[in-house]
Amino acid sequence: MKSSKTGIILGKTITYIALVLLALSIIVPVGWVFFASVKENSEFYRNPWTLPKGFHYQNFIDAFEKANMQNFFLNSIIVTAIALAFLLVIALPAAYVLSRYKFKGQKFLNVCFMAGIFVNLSYLVVPIFLMLSEADKFLGKTFGIKQLFLNNQVVLSLVYASTSLAFTIFLLSSYFKTLPKDFEEAAYVDGATYFRTMVSIMFPMAKPSILTVILFQFLAYWNEYALALTLMADEKKYTLSVGLLNLMNAQKAAATYGQLYAGLVVVMLPTFILYMLVQKQLTQGMTAGGVKG
């Protein structure tokens, strides 16, 4: 009896040590970025692990004033918000119907969306760009409209939403599948329409899953740069990650490390805030693959 008790204590100690070590391996690097953002440029050479000599908040002022961060920041918010709105409006009904209704072609669509998860955005960038640019040329010739698709934040958002449809539908469907049938049946008996049932009964029940999707895709859109760079040639419409990339490309010119790390912190903060807001729901929402209950 006694030995098993010490065994448990030993086991617990080891577990705690392992957990603390992993936690430290995360806290230290993240803290490092915050420290780096208030260092002066000369402190970035030699040892990267020294503490900052002072609180050089000028980096943040430079990042905003010289590197035009506030403009990029606003662009990123606009693009991310519109893309998330598109995504939810389009993916939610589709996921709901695909997971809970039987109809002709359903199997085909499910396979299509499933295969879509394996398509990587990195090789779609150029084909999408060429397609939009062809469309612009066509519109220019026939209607004399200048650039409708390229350099357009709404179009970028739509492309973002469309390319993440497959994964989102998969995630939401898995969740919808776990919900019991009783609610819908009760609603129909009460005379509610299909649409009403979906919007006012099923969607609220899927809240954890929806929040998960919002967090996932917020991260994806917020940090994406390949598409944003290609579809937005106009510097005024750069997103934050593209602007940051510009700061990083300082080869053969004196690097402005301080500004760069200040920029990185600026990019990180909104994701942190959102994460803290939704983290409680995250554990419920990520039931990918569905556990049948």
Partner 1 sequence: MDKQKGRGRFVFFCVAPATILFFIFVVFPTINVFRMSLYKWGGFSANKSFVGLENFKNLMKDAKFFQSFQNTVLIIALVTMVTLIFALTFAGILVRAKMKFKNFFRVIFYIPNILSMVVISAVFSAILDQRNGLLNGILSIFAGKEVSISWLGSQKTVIYSMVIVLIWQAIGYYMVMYMSSMSAIPESLYESADLEGVGPIKQFFTITLPLIWVNIRTTLSFFIISSINMSFLLVQAMTQGNPDGGSEVFLSYMYKQAYTNGSYGYGMAIGVIVFTFSFGLSAVINAVTKRDVIEF
Partner 2 sequence: MKIKRVFSLLLAGILATTTLASCGSKGGSSNSGEDKNVLKVAALESAYGSDVWKEVVKAFEETKEGVKVELTIDKKIEDKLRPQMSQGDYPDFMLLSLGREAGLTDTLLKEGEIAPIDDVFDMKIPGEEKTPKDKMMSGFLDAEALKPNKADGDDAYYFAPMFYSPCGLYYNANLLETKGIEVPKTWDQMFELGKTLKDKEKEGEPSLFAYPMAGYFDAFYFALWSNLGGVDYMNKMAAGDVEAWKSSTTDEFFKIMGDLAKYVEGSVVGNANPQNFTKNQQLILDNKALFMPNGTWIVGEMSQAPRADGFKWGQTALPVSKEGETSNVLTFIENAWIPKQAKNPELGKEFMAFMYSDKAAEIFAKYGAAQPIQGVTAMFPEKDKDGNPNENITLFSVLDNANAVMANFTGKQTADGRNLKTVTCETFNSVVNGEKTVDQWKAECIDVVENLQ
Reference 290, options 94, 100, 93; nearest CA is 100
In the stretch 218-247, what mask flags binding to partner 1 with x, by CB under 8 A? -x--xx-----------------x--xx--
250 versus 273: smaller Cβ distance to partner 2: 250
Query: Which of helix, strand or coil describes residue 226?
Result: helix
Q: Catalog residues that contact partner 2 under the rule CB under 8 A.
A: 41-42, 45-46, 86, 89, 129-130, 133, 136-137, 140, 145-148, 150-155, 158, 193-195, 229-231, 233-235, 237, 245-246, 249-255
Asked whether the beta carbons of 60 and 37 are under 8 A apart, the reply is yes
| Long-range CB pairs of 89-94, under 8 A, 24+ apart, other chains included | 90/161, 90/165, 91/161, 91/165, 91/168, 91/169, 91/172, 91/213, 92/172, 92/203, 92/206, 92/210, 93/198, 94/165, 94/169
Interface region with partner 1, contact rule CB under 8 A, candidates 30-38, 75-83, 136-144, 231-239: 30-38
In the stretch 160-179, what mask flags binding to partner 1 with x, by CB under 8 A? -xxx-xx--x----x---x-
In whole angstroms, the minimum distance from the beta carbon of 183 to partner 1 comes to 17
Q: Which residues contact 291 (CB under 8 A, 6 or more apart)?
A: 178
Give just the sign of the alpha carbon dihedral 35, 37, 42, 48.
positive
In whole angstroms, the minimum distance from the beta carbon of 220 to partner 2 comes to 20
In whole angstroms, the minimum distance from the beta carbon of 284 to partner 1 comes to 6
Site for partner 1 contains 30 (CB under 8 A): yes
In the stretch 264-283, what mask flags binding to partner 1 with x, by CB under 8 A? x--xx--xx--xx--x--xx
Q: Rounded to an integer, what distance in angstroms lies between the CA atom of residue 242 and that of residue 237?
A: 10
Among 10, 248, 250, 269, binds partner 1 (CB under 8 A): 248
Q: Which does 51 bind (CB under 5 to 8 A by kind): partner 2, partner 1, none?
A: none
Asked whether the beta carbons of 240 and 80 are under 8 A apart, the reply is no
Site for partner 1 contains 14 (CB under 8 A): no
- Which parts of 181-200 interact with partner 1 (CB under 8 A)? 193-195, 198
128: tokens are 């999408």
